[in-house]
Chain A
Amino acid sequence: AQSVTQLGSHVSVSEGALVLLRCNYSSSVPPYLFWYVQYPNQGLQLLLKYTSAATLVKGINGFEAEFKKSETSFHLTKPSAHMSDAAEYFCAVSDPHSGGGADGLTFGKGTHLIIQP
């Protein structure tokens, strides 16, 4: 069974500071990994994904994440926070080899990012 742990239910950073949101996964096989963002009262938007190609993945809005197999981590970073980055961020994992031709995502519990002016 897969699982995702996001350290810190709330993270607060100052505008212009580095954003670091932590995600660790547990999976019996190398997984596919995703980061999604959810703005208030909206659906989930894909920020970036890792699907066994380059370990450093660049996404939208200046975010990037690095897959580290030895640490079973997929932390999300952004060099300089902007007020518009305030939202809920979810890390998710899927098993590339699950049967049936389809599978769903297993989500972490989310990290609420607060940007201080």
Chain B
Amino acid sequence: KAGVTQTPRYLIKTRGQQVTLSCSPISGHRSVSWYQQTPGQGLQFLFEYFSETQRNKGNFPGRFSGRQFSNSRSEMNVSTLELGDSALYLCASSVGQGTGELFFGEGSRLTVL
């Protein structure tokens, strides 16, 4: 069974630009969560989608948004990039019913110059 796939793996943007990251979950998983990982801050929750609906949202500004498609694939978008948005963005999928194991992708490393 294929794991969680994230694209692109690496990208460099400049301040003010916008970026879209993609995540394909494990087949059969209906929940996709996004986390921002920075040194010293651990894994900070961005949002979670289940069956195309945002189920939870973390404490991030409105520049961060996401969506989920009918095939469970998810995208997140960051507009008006700031230097502080440089981070590893991790996507994780799960079956989606209640609590359970999250399966992480390898992440998309964003550098904002």
Do A and B bind? no
Q: Which residues of A contact B (CB under 8 A)?
A: none
Q: Which residues of B contact A (CB under 8 A)?
A: none
